[in-house]
Amino acid sequence: MADAVHVGSGKVRELYALDDARLLLVASDRISTFDVVLPTEIPDKGRVLTGLSGFWFARTQSVCPNHLLALRPDGRSTECRRLRMLPIECVVRGYLSGSGWKDYRTTGEVCGHRLPAALRESDRLAEPIFTPATKAASGHDENITRTQAAALVGAEQLAEVERLSIALYQLAADHARGCGIIIADTKFEFGLDGGGRLVFADEALTPDSSRFWPADEYKPGGPQPSFDKQFVRDFCERTGWNKTYPGPQLPADVVAGTRARYIEAFERLTSMKFSTYLANPTTVLK
Ligand code: Q0N
């Protein structure tokens, strides 16, 4: 890290340049809810998400090349290839939730996909749909149609990231379902390497980039509990917090319960003990 140059910040991650060709992505233990980063951290959250991303990158190589070069021994830092990122977020939805549900309710469509009438909140879709978004000036993601996305990246490029996104989602959602986790939706980012080839980048199918739901509690017709953040959300609702900065501090039992849920997601999906990952992060790549 001595000569890594800080080049960017997300809400809960930091990006450093190692050299012209490589970046270091560092996942913190910060947690956000209702779009606000809370003052209390969840110990090991960044390691869980880094390990899960590594797991999915290793298991989706046959679908799409990715940016991962190495996981560092700290378990929270990923060395990756430096790419030219596409200016769209590649969202795939297998279930109707969040902004997808909101848009469907008001227009009957999501990003130009006309859906059947009378769907309920959290219903499973007959087929997963590709629903791209852009980073709006506000920092908030804004859903766009595939026609608008094609204007940003080109029709050919868009068709290819749509095909890859759906294939990645289907592979992961099928695996997760066998582990008792519904991946309701997820957001992918792609970049281009020096040869103009598409590369799967950023984080891969983590609870921060996706909606994870416990399958045994799935009940369409309303919002679903979050696999990872539900204790935090419930606590925040109980405090009467108005969901603007700053957020409340979390009590120890909420921190411990939330940490346990992240680790449970890791262990269910990877079928590996989290302690094995901590002892040697590269084990998740095998
Ligand atoms: C990159 N972002 C958006 C970390 C995540 N492999 C790459 N090459 C070039 N640029 C990026 C990547 C990746 N991944 C991705 N920004 C730059 C998300 N960031 C926000 C800050 O924290």
Cβ neighbors of 56 (< 8 A, separation 6 or more) are 172, 204, 205
Minimum CA distance residue for ligand 1 atom 2: 202
- pLDDT value for 2: 67
The yes-or-no verdict on residue 1 having pLDDT over 70 is no
pLDDT for the residue numbered 3: 87
Tell if the pTM clears 0.95, that is, is over it.
yes
For the CA of 80, the nearest atom of ligand 1? 6
Which residue, by CA, sits nearest to atom 13 of ligand 1? 202
Predicted confidence (pLDDT) per residue in 204-232, tens digit: 999 999 999 999 999 999 999 999 999 99
Give the type of residue at 201.
A
- Which residue do the tokens 């986790």 mark? 181
Least confident of 128-137, 215-224, 228-237: 128-137
Give the DSSP per-residue string, 164-227. Answer: HHHHHHHHHHHHHHTTTEEEEEEEEEEEE-TTS-EEEES--S-TTTEEEEEGGG--SSSPPPPT
Mean pLDDT score, 111-130: 98
Tokens of 123: 């219903």
Pocket residues for ligand 1 (CB within 6 Å)?
A: 8-10, 13-15, 23, 25, 67, 80-83, 85, 191, 201-202
* pLDDT score, position 138: 76
8 A C-beta contact, residue 141 and residue 174? no
- Whether 257 and 231 have beta carbons less than 8 Å apart is answered as yes
CA–CA gap between residue 258 and residue 140 (Å, rounded): 25
Q: How far apart are CA 249 and CA 80, in angstroms?
A: 33
Coil, strand or helix at 25: strand
Cis omega (within 30 of 0) for bond into 73 = no
Q: How far is the CA of 202 from the centre of ligand 1 (A)?
A: 6
186 pLDDT more than 80: yes
